A and B are shown apart, each in its own frame.
Chain A
Amino acid sequence: MKTDMSIRMRTMLYGLMCVLLIPFVFPTWWMVTSSVKPISDIFAFPPDLLPRTYDWSTYQRVFELQPFAQQYWNSGYIALLVTAGTMIVSSLAGYAFARIRFPGADAIFMVVLLGLLIPAEVTIVPLFQMFNQWGMINTHWPLILVPVFGAPSVFSTFIMRQFFIALPIELEEAARVDGLGRFTIFRKIALPLAKPALSAVAIFTFLHSWNLFLEPIVFISTPQMFTLPQALTQFTDAYGGAMWNIQLAAATLTALPVLIVFIVAQKQFVEGLAHTGLKG
């Protein structure tokens, strides 16, 4: 009797989850299948779940119309540098805020957190002027420096700080007795134990940088320097109309690494958030 109930409950739960999945899965499915459909089939109603005919040439056109491989590389290396930079900055800052008592620490942390409340659109003009003065317009520097020292890094610092606060202080005291200095304790004890939080930071930061849109369109002006989100806007015909199937093929290629990262690192992503006490 009890088993019947639990099977029924389980079936209902799975059914509910399948329904909830539709709004998340359908757009991705539509993007992938539409990338190989002829344009006329893309907006057919009701939509076809599978293409009637497969047109793989759209993927070839993506690389013909734009320096897509170069743009892919741009997005990739920028995201990796931003990820590495943010991991370094946020782990050091998070550790300092969690463990080092210095005058005004709490006030400074509050000020840093306030950075999260300011939308990127508010600071983009002053940033443009600053990078313009530094001769960095139409270079990738703004796309690296803004996230590493801006809002994404603040969020990551918060994650790291929460993690380090939760780390038993006795571990560090034991290390002090064992003869380690502050930085060695950070490097050899705190940081290796912070892997779950660091993984969460890495995934967040990589995704944020990979998807960055506002900053590239403000700071970058030549196709060779474009990143992928910016490049996606360029698949238009002579009249400015979207070449939907090619654009969706490019979008599929753009989403691919993100999907792979998430599928591979799903466990660390969830663990990292669980460790920091944050809820997604």
Chain B
Amino acid sequence: MANVTLSQIKKQYGNTPVIHGVDIEAADGEFVVLVGPSGCGKSTLLRMIAGLETISSGTLKIGDRIVNDLDPKDRDIAMVFQNYALYPHMTVETNMGFSLEHRGGTKTEIAERVKWAAEILDLSNLLKRYPRQLSGGQRQRVAMGRAIVRDPQVFLFDEPLSNLDAKLRVAMRAEIKNLHRKLKTTTIYVTHDQVEAMTMADKIVVMNAGEVSQVGAPLDLYDRPANRFVAGFIGSPSMNFIDGVVENGRFTAPGIDLETPSFTAGETSRQLICGIRPEHLVIGGEGISAEVSLVEPMGSETQVTFSLPEGTIVGVFRDRIAAKPGDILTLGVQTDGCHFFDPLTDLRVE
């Protein structure tokens, strides 16, 4: 096991920069998730850690070694690919033992390691099958088996669950997390799914346009997003953003007049964006008067879209809502439910 340190890592394709000086530290045994929208550079960054992409500048360390110029095979990492990348012409057993075979492992040693990995991942009865004879979930487990069999210092996962259906994804999420708990190997996991990131990570790195937007524990990111991008990206449905003015301890916007304990009374007028998570809206509170435009009962909760004089907001409520489109409701916000962002810099304002 080892820590992974990225210092000022940059990547350029020709004259086009795609990663702009990224600093990330994954501690020994930590499960770090890189999350962000498509094209934000998270997979490129992972491939740079794997050695499948060159690093334009900066330093990448695995343990105490600088590995910038090392081949993937010399970095002591294992990677699980999005489409599993199992060798179609080899059985599960050969797929899993292939890397050990090429690193000079003896037959007995390879057989033992494959058996060990197969037992952990419940693959023992599938060892003689070919990848084409396996289901999506089984293939995913074989891909993980191929990674763990070598006992590498770092596991890299590149959106490994994106090809699975929703139910299987939830099951595999738990399986990967259990595996990490057992093996305690440093893991860097790329996903665009913020639910995966929130449920699996010890530490989340939110990326946007080739830069790190925020690094932190899942709930820290949820509770105190550093900027508007993170606030909007983490949480589902997304946070509501309302342009308005803070003055004398109150946030006002058309149809909204909220008390803002975080700002002192007497503060001069300031343009800000107020972010409110859908689940932090309360029906029957004070401060927002809005017309119901859509009611979506989900069973466990109800999602309601409200029209405001300028734009719409979404609320999620645990209770079943009797309201129907056209009704006017008054809404409040739970304590500490308002996040404020500067409209010019998009940064969080305390």
Determine whether the beta carbon of A177 is less than 8 Å from that of B83. Answer: no
B→A interface (CB under 8 Å): 50-52, 71-73, 77-79, 81-83, 85-89, 98-99, 102-103, 146
B103 touches A170 (CB 8 A): no
Which residues on A sit within 8 Å (CB–CB) of B83? 168, 170
Given contacts A170-B81, A170-B83, contact A176 B89 (CB under 8 A): no
- Cβ of A184 and Cβ of B77 under 8 Å apart? no
Out of A168, A174, A178, A192, name the residue touching B89 (CB < 8 Å): A192
On chain B, the residues within 8 Å of A170 by CB distance are 81-83, 85
SS class, residues of chain A in contact with chain B: helix
B88 to chain A, nearest CB (A): 6
CA distance A184 to B102 in the complex (A): 10
Per the bound structure, the CA–CA distance linking A170 and B82 in Å amounts to 9
Bound CA–CA A258/B85 (angstroms):
38
Interface membership of A108, Cβ < 8 A: no
On whether the beta carbons of B102 and A177 are closer than 8 Å, the reply is no
B98: nearest chain-A partner, CB-CB: A178
| Interface class of chain B by DSSP | loop
Q: A173-B81, A189-B87, A193-B88 are in contact. Are A178 and B99 (CB under 8 A)?
A: yes
Instruction: Report the tally of A-B residue pairs with Cβ distances under 8 A.
Output: 52
A117-176 at interface with B (beta carbon < 8 Å): 168, 170-171, 173-176
Q: What B residues does A176 contact at CB under 8 A?
A: 51-52, 71-73
Residue of A168, A179, A192, A193 near B85 (CB, 8 A) is: A168
- Alpha-carbon distance A180/B85, docked complex (angstroms): 15
Measured between beta carbons, the chain A residues less than 8 angstroms from B89 are 192-193
Complex contact B85–A174 (CB within 8 A): yes
Contacts of B52 in A (CB 8 A): 173, 176-177
Shortest beta-carbon contacts, A-B, top 6: A178-B99, A179-B73, A170-B85, A174-B85, A179-B102, A177-B72
Residues on the B chain within 8 Å of A192, using CB: 89
Q: Which residues of A contact B50 (CB under 8 A)?
A: 173, 177
A178 to B139, CA, bound (A): 17
A180-B73, A189-B87, A193-B89 as given contacts; A174 in contact with B79, CB under 8 Å:
yes
Chain B residues whose CB sits within 8 angstroms of the CB of A184 once the complex forms:
102
Known: A170-B81, A184-B102. A177 touches B73 (CB 8 A): yes
The winner among B73, B78, B85, B88 for most chain A CB atoms within 10 A is B85
Given the complex, which residues of B lie within 8 Å of A178, measured CB to CB? 73, 98-99, 102, 146
Cα-based distance from A179 to B149 in the complex (angstroms) = 14
Tell me, rounded to whole Å, the shortest Cβ–Cβ distance linking B312 to chain A: 42
Residues in A neighbouring B87, C-beta threshold 8 A: 171, 174-175, 189
Q: How far is B71's CA from A192's CA once the two chains are assembled, in angstroms?
A: 24
CA distance in complex: A114, B89 (Å) = 35
Residues of A234-273 at the interface with B, using a CB-CB cut-off of 8 Å, are: none
Q: Please state if B78 and A177 are interface contacts (CB–CB under 8 Å).
A: yes
A173 to B52, CA, bound (A): 7
Looking at A171, A177, A178, A179, the one whose CB has the most chain B CB atoms below 10 A away is: A177
CA distance A177 to B99 in the complex (A): 8
- Are A179 and B103 interface neighbours, CB within 8 A? yes
Q: Which residues of A are found within 8 Å of B88, using beta-carbon distances?
A: 171, 193
Q: By the criterion CB–CB under 8 Å, are B77 and A177 in contact? A: yes
Nearest A residue (CB) for B50:
A177
How far in angstroms is the closest Cβ of chain A from B194?
25
User: Do the beta carbons of A171 and B85 come within 8 Å of each other?
Assistant: yes
CB distance from B168 to the nearest CB of A (A): 20
